[in-house]
Amino acid sequence: MQAYIYAGAGGPEVLKAQARPIPETADHEVLIEVTAFGLNRADVQQRKGVYPPPAGASDIPGLEVSGTIAKVGKQVTEWNVGDRVAALLAGGGYAQYVNVESSHVLAVPAQMDLVEAAGLPEVAATVVSNIFLEGALKDGETILVHGGSGGIGSMAIQLAKAAGATVIVTASSEDKIAYCKSLGADEGINYREEDVLERVRELTAAKGVDLILDVVGAKYLAMNVKALAVGGRMVVIGLQGGAKAELDLRMLMSKRARVIGTTLRARPANEKTAIVEETSKRIEPLLAEGKLSLNVTKIYSFEALVSAHEHFDSGTHLGKIVVRA
């Protein structure tokens, strides 16, 4: 099979195609013939050398794929050869075949395009694990989503709205805010032109938000804590604005607030299984009713993977980028 690896740390030019053997399938795994795979910020961070794969993961990057099951392990009973699926991976997705724990697989409905389905597993599992399992978002609460126009933000808007929450997003342009509102966001804040904290206070009548999904990290830490309501929670899932900042513990304590840091890729298999199960419960009804947009805005060929990474690096993309295998 053909696969891509990173031949070092750097820009898109470090992506190199290689011939690799089709991976062996363990008794508890399925082998997927890959139709397409999603491109995620974690892939880019790994390419830059700042987000190494966990111990035991494939050196082939890629955290989500769609395709059809080509082989099932001896202990697998819930899947059959030929099933249309999408899967959450610890690595190995930038290839024509990948093996994966059978409990980390999602069914792809017949009405869904299999290429677009490649943009589902990583963002859906990330959002579900962080805003529901970690952040405990409830009906009637308000969530602030930083980077609302990206793949994770796009999914967070839709799932939070489906859960009955009010959604405020930040984005870098009015076009991106309009895009977020088309997905269901209630309000948008242009962080390049507006004071985010002041706008949050205006939009919540000075109460603050109940939950923040943050991909920025250090740069927003102080502001985020101030933006929380009493009993609020902040889940940090990215460090685009740095990893170290000063935290005002007095303010955190006075608000009885919580700051939660998580990653998905390195979690133990049993935790990923629980996340995939919860993700399936939340997205299957929405997919069946046609109420969940995967927001795949760019599709590249396998041979154009370098161009896909260049487009991601440009910062101009909306929604998800997927690549045909």
pLDDT digits (tens, 9 = 90+) for 8-61: 999 999 999 999 999 999 999 999 999 999 999 899 999 999 989 988 899 999
What does the pLDDT read at residue 233?
A: 98
On whether both 209 and 248 belong to a single domain, the answer is yes
Distance of alpha carbon 62 from alpha carbon 4, whole angstroms? 9
Among the three residues 238, 261, 284, which one is the final residue of a domain in this structure?
261
Domain assignment of residue 284, yes or no: no
Quick one: 114 and 128 in the same domain?
Answer: no
With tokens 């009993």, the residue in question is: 231
68 and 32 in a common domain: yes
Task: Give yes or no: residues 32 and 87 share one domain.
Answer: yes
Q: What is the pLDDT of residue 266?
A: 85
Nearest to 226 by CA among 201, 204, 193: 201
| Bridge partner residues of 190 (DSSP) | 171
pLDDT at 240 over 90: no
CATH number reported for the structural domain that contains residue 26 in this entry: 3.90.180.10
Does residue 319 have a pLDDT over 80? no
The answer to whether the beta carbons of residues 232 and 225 sit under 8 Å apart is no
What mean pLDDT is predicted for residues 244-261? 95
In a domain, 62, yes or no: yes
Domain presence at residue 132: yes
Give the β-pairing of 84-88 and 142-145.
unpaired
Q: What is the pTM of this model?
A: 0.91
Range of the domain at 231: 124-261
Residue 163 falls inside a structural domain: yes
276 part of a folded domain = no
**128 and 255 together in one domain:** yes
Evaluate if residue 197 carries a pLDDT over 90: yes
3-state class (DSSP) for residue 202:
helix
Check whether residue 62 and residue 74 sit in a common domain. yes
Of the three residues 220, 239, 261, the one that is the final residue of a domain is 261
| Whether residue 155 is found in the same domain as residue 89 | no
Give me the chain's average pLDDT, please: 95
Confidence category of residue 257, pLDDT binned at 50, 70, 90: very high
Residue 287 in domain? no
Long-range contacts of 79-86 (CB under 8 A, 24+ apart): 79/30, 79/105, 83/107, 84/108, 84/110, 84/114, 84/117, 85/30, 85/32, 86/117, 86/118, 86/120, 86/121
Helix (H, G, I), strand (E, B) or coil at 142: strand
Mean pLDDT for 204-229 is 96
Least trusted range by pLDDT, from 82-91, 183-192, 196-205, 280-289: 280-289
Please tell me whether residues 6 and 49 are part of one structural domain.
Answer: yes
Q: How do strand 166-171 and strand 142-145 relate by DSSP bridges? A: parallel
Are 128 and 98 in a shared domain?
no
CATH number of 172's domain:
3.40.50.720
Of 211, 243, 261, the residue that ends a domain is: 261
Same-domain status, 305 and 247: no
Distance CA 166, CA 184 (A): 9
Domain check: are 62 and 164 in the same one?
A: no
310 located within any domain: yes
Q: Which pLDDT belongs to residue 239?
A: 87
228, 304: one domain: no
The answer as to whether 281 is a domain residue is no
Contact 134, 100 (CB under 8 A): no
| φ, ψ (nearest 5 deg) of residue 71 | -160, 145
Percent of the chain with pLDDT over 70: 100
Total number of domains in the chain: 2
pLDDT at 150: 86
Q: Tell me: pLDDT of 318 over 90.
A: no
